[in-house]
Amino acid sequence: MTAPGLYLDRVRQKQPLVHNITNYVTANDVANLLLAVGARPIMADDPAEAAQITAGCDALHLNLGTLSSRTVPSLLSAGQAANRLGHPVVLDPVGVGASDFRAKTARELLKTVKFSAVRGNISEIRTLAALHSAAHGVDADPADAITEDRMDAAKDLIRSFARRTGAVIAVTGAVDLVADGQRCFVVRGGRPEMGRVTGTGCQLSALTAAFLAANPDEPLEAVTAAVCAMDLAGELGWDRLAPGEGNMAYRDRIIDSIYHMTGSQLEKGARFALE
């Protein structure tokens, strides 16, 4: 990748409209993060309108965070409509290992919708790739963590999952891996404290959809640039916290850091390598 800043600048120029079928925990933060990057959010999850809403948008983010039987038809119809129109579609398989319902829905989505990218933590991606994970909630299980000695195995896993699905796969955590079937970017950045703010993963998935809409010809680079931007926002936001502030102020500082981030700042602050 030559210039992650350029991918951010293109988001600001295009101002993509991103349709989110997402969870009620973090929906407002996802909307504000999209506004911060210069994109435009819309949340709409009723089966009566999901496909039509998507048709008027530039990208679609499907998030399983508070999955309900009512919205499964919406996920499917919006995903298929976006495919017909050639819009990028991002899957965030929140807590996919926590219930059979989530796992079954995620598998049905992967079978019937062509995703441009799948973004999740390592436990979620392991579950989707049909490996074992002990995670029962929405956060990664520490036992799944990608340590240096497990890096090669993790890269092989996501590359083969990428080949199988045709999607760019982004696994985030202390180290982030972003791969298509051949290449894998390793992104080092962010802050461990980002795990204490609910919604940083959901925000990154929506940001990924915006970056893909603005950079349709280079999906691997677009997703990597989105990951770099979120990581850098986590670092800048942390530096901007005042003494005594906690995770809610940190949430706001992360979103504000995206709001103020320039292409050249991302260019300087992004830490990624093709490994």
Ligand X SMILES: Cc1ncsc1CCOP(=O)(O)O
Q: Which stretches of 46-113 are DSSP H helices?
A: 50-55, 72-85, 100-112
Q: How far apart are CA 269 and CA 24, in angstroms?
A: 32
65 binds, among Mg ion, ligand ADP, ligand X, none (CB under 5 to 8 A by kind): ligand X
Of 65, 16, 4, 52, which is closest to residue 212 (Cα–Cα)?
16
Residues that bind ligand ADP (CB under 6 A): 120-121, 139-140, 172-174, 176, 190-192, 194-195, 200-201, 204, 230-231, 234
- The reply to whether 94 sits near Mg ion by the rule CB under 5 A is yes
Stretch of 142-150, 179-187, 196-204, 216-224 contacting ligand X, by CB under 6 A: 196-204
Q: How far apart are CA 81 and CA 26, in angstroms?
A: 25
- The reply to whether 27 sits near Mg ion by the rule CB under 5 A is no
66 binds, among ligand X, ligand ADP, Mg ion, none (CB under 5 to 8 A by kind): ligand X
Burial of 84 (0-12, 13-18, 19+ CB in 10 A): exposed
| Closest to ligand X by CB, 23 or 215 | 23
| Closest to ligand X by CB, 10 or 61 | 61
- The reply to whether 234 sits near ligand X by the rule CB under 6 A is no
Q: Could you say which of 5, 65, 263, 269 contacts ligand X (CB under 6 A)? A: 65
> Which residue is at the shortest CB distance from Mg ion?
201
Of 100, 57, 10, which is closest to residue 21 (Cα–Cα)?
57
**Binding residues with ligand X: total (CB under 6 A):** 12
- The reply to whether 199 sits near Mg ion by the rule CB under 5 A is no
Q: How far apart are CA 230 and CA 203, in angstroms?
A: 8
CB neighbours of residue 163 within 10 Å: 14
Q: Which residues bind ligand X (CB under 6 A)?
A: 23, 25-26, 65-66, 94, 138, 198-202
